[in-house]
Structure 1
């Protein structure tokens, strides 16, 4: 398993670098293939290596990855119509909900002190981000609020796995969830507030890392500790 995962990591990094290259040089025709290929590669890897996992966990993780793939494809065309952005937002919201279900299967929500602290910090961050963007969101205010709550719920449920799964698995998944928030934050600021130099590298780099860390974490250890 370890050899297979390391071999996949090399392939995955190559695919991500290819997409970063095509995005940097604005090869939009090629990006229609390189961007979706990131998630396609990850889906294939999880589909092969994740069959030993709990069936519900396996299915909902695949569902999260498939919704993410749909979101990636839809956002490729958001410059053509706002509808594509809205549909992409919905696809990723469904991905976050699916990931939340996965994390709840393995963990639980107990409002202990650490859990409350993490939840409050994430909610404060989400509120601050929305307040920065709200004047430029127009009709997207409510959808963005719902989306922010969805991604924060995903991160909070990821933290809910703490002490209930292998420690390495917990760290990989939770860090992946935080990278997801970071990626979407950069994308939102760049789209609605101010242009960020190198935004393509930052958004796709953190996004690819997020998806990989979550999948790798789920494969690292799915058994609850006694």
Structure 2
């Protein structure tokens, strides 16, 4: 994909994301959120589908992860409480990303990212645990293990094979952890001012970076 085309895709993603965030933050504009939240992830998916990967199967698994993420987006914004369904969709998305990253390097061959993300997960859990509903504890533990494992694998692959693509994946994994940590803390522990905006901005940065990691070259 030419650089000009990549920039146009990114501009479209930014415009769509801005509309979705505006809809989440401003009373009376909820329709924007419903329309543009899944559209933003779909645009990121469209960008990924246009990129060429040098690793067989990598793009296919990233696209699968983005499709599952879009499904999770929909579950989390429906009028009923679809948190568990959204959690399951994103769990499967992280599994798809994890197996994509395995195609770029061995499982967690560099150990320090696993230790670092384990510490982060433990700190978040310590804050969440007293107020986390009992019925959600096991699903959330499984989800966090998958997310931390994916982010750690991304960082490990980056250190095994330092290049633009693996760096993008590692950045994406880190932003995903940040986004989900803010979402969980705001929902179950301490309210975060303008949480929807912060969660969505970091979430789409994560997805954009993971999508861009498909490319065989980056600007």
TM over 0.5: yes
**Number of residue-to-residue matches in the alignment:** 215
2:164 to 161, 165, 168: 168
Q: CA RMSD in A?
A: 1.8
Q: Is the Cα contact below 8 Å between 1:22 and 1:30 reproduced in 2? A: yes
SS in 2 for 1:106: coil
User: Does the CA contact (< 8 Å) of 1:165 and 1:221 recur in 2?
Assistant: no
State how far apart, in whole Å, the 1-side matches of 2:70 and 2:174 are: 19
3-state DSSP of counterpart to 2:157: coil
Q: TM-score, normalised by structure 1?
A: 0.89
Contact 2:19-2:33 at 8 Å conserved across structures: no
Question: What is the Cα deviation at residue 76 of structure 1?
Answer: 0.3
Contact 1:103 1:160 in 2 (8 A): no
TM-superposed CA distance for 1:28, in Å, is: 2.3
- Runs of 4+ in structure 1 deviating by more than 2 angstroms, as ranges, are 26-30, 52-55, 162-166
Q: Which whole-Å CA distance do the structure 1 matches of 2:111 and 2:64 have between them?
A: 28
Query: 1:164 Cα deviation (Å)?
Result: 5.1
Structure 1 unmatched runs, 5+: none
Question: Structure 2 stretches of 5 or more lacking a match?
Answer: none
Aligned to 1:120: 115
Give the equivalent residue in structure 2 for 1:189.
185
Which residue in the other structure is 2:34 paired with?
A: 32
TM-score normalised by structure 2 residue count: 0.92
Give the corresponding residue for 2:101.
103
**Per-residue deviation at 1:163?**
5.1
Indicate the SS of the match to 1:160.
helix
Deviation string 1:98-147 (CA, Å, 9 cap, x unpaired) is: 00000001111254xxx222211110110111111011111111111101
Q: Which residue of structure 2 aligns with residue 47 of structure 1?
A: 49
Retained in 2: the 8 A contact 1:106–1:164? no
Write out per-residue CA displacement over residues 3-33 of structure 1, whole angstroms, 9 at most, x where no aligned residue: 2111211111111111111111142233111
Distance 1:49 1:120 in 2: 32
**Does the aligned pair in 1 maintain the 2:20–2:34 contact within 8 Å?**
no
2:70 counterpart of 1:60:
no
Contact 1:166–1:221 at 8 Å: present in 2 too? Answer: no
* CA apart distance, 1:218: 2.3
**In the alignment, is residue 4 of structure 1 matched against residue 5 of structure 2?**
yes
